[in-house]
Structure 1
Amino acid sequence: MDMQAWLHEQVTAEKRRALPILSFPSIQLLGITVRELISDSDLQAKGMYEVAKRCPASAAVSMMDLSVEAECFGSQIRVSDDEVPTVVGSVVGSMEDAQALPVPQVGAGRTGLYVEAISKALKLITDRPVFAGVIGPYSLAGRLMDMTQIMMNCYDEPEMVHATLEKATAFILSYIQAYKAVGAHGVVIAEPAAGLLSPDLCEEFSSPYVKQIVDAVQDDQFLVIYHNCGNAAARMIPQLLDIGASGYHFGNAVSMEEVLEQMPGDVLTMGNLDPVSVFRNGTPEQVRESTLELLKRCTPHKNFLISSGCDIPPASSWENIDAFFAAVEEFYQ
């Protein structure tokens, strides 16, 4: 698949297709639990396929499960039947811990299973790109260290943070290369924790590490989409653009118009309907109204592609999801 042609189409088409982060609600289509979905590559591939059959999205995306990589490093995770897995506790509390932290091999924990899922999904979904999903370096380091603690360590123990980031980056790079090797068309790097940083701290502790990954894996046939749903993301656009990703995805904590005004017109920029208040807790009519309003405000920017602000929760109703795609179709008609 010519990914440069796909990318060009997204920023030039008069009638644009949505690209929400939509994967976990597949459990409803398959009649399974989140626990079952995250444990079975066949179910993940089938879930992506069922979503693609039902939804006219411009690409298929895998789950934004930000516990996978931390689990490989030894973090404890909490799993339930109906919620996205979360990380519990920390495994890095000192410089000694950071230095002794082994970098796992791809295949550890559930990473091998997730790579298998993308390989299987590629055989089922042939009419659009298939994107894998990984966590960003700073967000992974925050889960290894504890999110509150890493914020303090950026000031008090910066060397420890950098030591952890180097190992997180090395693993994520290998993980993405494994997705690329099985034929994925790109990857969404979720770096939400960076949205809590100041622009200067982002420039020190997040963007250079993400850029290192982007420079190593991105080419004409493999794109990187950068996701940041933090409330400070709109204040660090120059730092984020330095990463050099093919596309940028923003959460609902920021004004999409404010972001778009700072983005170059040829850089694909996506967001940002609230995944909880709109998709999870709204009604179909509220979803329609919110979708049409965001499109009306942002479509004058030709590089805008409407999306959810983050991963749509597993229990979000399919009536709401269908209403979202219907509203996009209605707008462009």
Structure 2
Amino acid sequence: MHTSSRFVSLLASAIQSRRRLAIPLAAAPGMQLLKLPADDVHRSGQLQFECIRTLAMQTGAEVLVTFMDLSVEAEAFGCAIRHSDTGNPEIVGTIAPERLATPAVGTARTGEALRCAELCAKQLTQPVLGGLIGPFSLACLLTGMSEMMMMAAVEPNQAHAILQIAADFLRQYLLALRQTGLAGAIIAEPSAGLLSPEMCRDFSVHYLRQIIASAKSDDFAVILHNCGKTEKQVPVLLSSGADALHVGNAVDIRQILAQVPPGFPILGNLDPVGVLCDSAEGTVRAAVRDLLQTTAAYPNHIVSSGCDIPAQTPIANIKAFFAAVQDYNQENQP
């Protein structure tokens, strides 16, 4: 069975069997194992693949994810970035709205992200999920967060023009990711967490529908990530057409789970910094167990970090995450 089809089957069987599945957003910590500077890794799809493969060998993860670097798409549009030896590149310049134009897929480091995706799909046996930014979050990077928020409120026509440019590119980019053979993709739309449900519908989900509908299929899953206070946005987010939602540690995950159909996957929401990165192994194990017990009535909950796990996170803590899920499953076999 193709890995993409196997991922969809894995989600369904986990929900049906009540075996808890773990999919932390862990790729960047693989840089530790290879002793590579982040600057080099973020410029090279080959090195990103090596980090993902090496970390997977250490953890035994059933599902893998690529790097969550939300500067990639903005750089392709022409935004200036500042690289770092330890973390993700940072956007340091915006673009005037009248100068925005849709770049070709493969421009700048989108080509390296696609290279990583292709290597993962061809050389790894586990299903792999790619990643890309969402339309509203991309628009905020392109024009500035405060500028975009103000534009959406008082100049909605201009905001929609920018969002359509962003969505046109992201639709093509998601299709390119699917063509590599990945099992699916996670669309990260964190900035939309700042919007009211109505504005989220109009300025994020309207465009997400276009993007998701163009690429999702029976063997390519699309997961929508929003790490904001999303409790009141759930009905709107469900209307995006995504196959699953991924939520952050800012929410009570039970309030999210209570609003979705029992077979609809919800991923999240262990604190990636306060728990996974900065705590001891025992604390990680206890936090994972607490999350599993809290969501025991919801077999559609997939255990994950609330956002991407920082590069400096101890590998022992990531192993503790998986070990805690494995122990829980062994103790709670039907």
TM-score normalised by the chain length of structure 1:
0.95
Give 1:289 shift.
1.0
Give 1:6 shift.
2.8
SS in 1 for 2:258: helix
Deviations 1:279-298 (A, max 9, x none): 11111111111111011001
Structure 2 partner of 1:321: 318
Structure 1 partner of 2:141: 143
Does the alignment pair 1:19 with 2:23? yes
Structure 2 partner of 1:178: 176
Distance in 1, Cα, partners of 2:122 & 2:216: 22
Q: Which residue identity lines up with residue 52 of structure 2 in the other structure?
A: M
Structure 2 partner of 1:76: 80
Q: Which residue identity lines up with residue 9 of structure 1 in the other structure?
A: S
Identity %: 39
- The answer to whether the 8 A contact 2:41-2:48 is kept is yes
Distance in 2, Cα, partners of 1:329 & 1:214: 32
Deviations 1:87-140 (A, max 9, x none): 123213xxxx34x411000111100111011111122211x2111100000000
The count of residues paired between Structure 1 and Structure 2 equals 326
Give 1:236 shift.
0.7
Structure 1 partner of 2:328: 331
- The answer to whether the 8 A contact 1:16-1:305 is kept is yes
Structure 2 partner of 1:41: 45
Distance in 2, Cα, partners of 1:32 & 1:295: 34
Deviations 1:244-275 (A, max 9, x none): 11111000011111111111111110100111
Does the alignment pair 1:106 with 2:105? yes
- The answer to whether the 8 A contact 1:73-1:103 is kept is yes
- The answer to whether the 8 A contact 2:197-2:233 is kept is yes
Structure 2 partner of 1:65: 69
Structure 2 partner of 1:214: 212
Distance in 1, Cα, partners of 2:163 & 2:90: 20
Of the structure 1 ranges 318-327 and 301-310, higher mean CA displacement relative to structure 2 is found in 318-327
Distance in 2, Cα, partners of 1:6 & 1:40: 30
Distance in 1, Cα, partners of 2:81 & 2:288: 34
Q: Which stretches in structure 2 are left out of the alignment for 5+ residues?
A: none
Does the alignment pair 1:305 with 2:302? yes
RMSD (Å) for aligned C-alpha atoms: 1.2
Structure 2 partner of 1:276: 273
Distance in 1, Cα, partners of 2:146 & 2:16: 42
- The answer to whether the 8 A contact 1:45-1:117 is kept is yes
Q: Which stretches in structure 1 are left out of the alignment for 5+ residues?
A: none
Q: Which residue identity lines up with residue 285 of structure 1 in the other structure?
A: G
Q: Which residue identity lines up with residue 122 of structure 2 in the other structure?
A: K
Give 1:53 shift.
1.6
Give 1:153 shift.
1.2
Structure 1 partner of 2:253: 256
Q: Which residue identity lines up with residue 276 of structure 1 in the other structure?
A: V
- The answer to whether the 8 A contact 1:75-1:89 is kept is yes
Structure 2 partner of 1:265: 262
Structure 2 partner of 1:234: 231
Q: Which residue identity lines up with residue 132 of structure 1 in the other structure?
A: G
Structure 1 partner of 2:156: 158
Distance in 1, Cα, partners of 2:284 & 2:93: 36
Distance in 1, Cα, partners of 2:207 & 2:46: 32
Does the alignment pair 1:86 with 2:129? no
Distance in 2, Cα, partners of 1:325 & 1:47: 18
Structure 1 partner of 2:124: 125
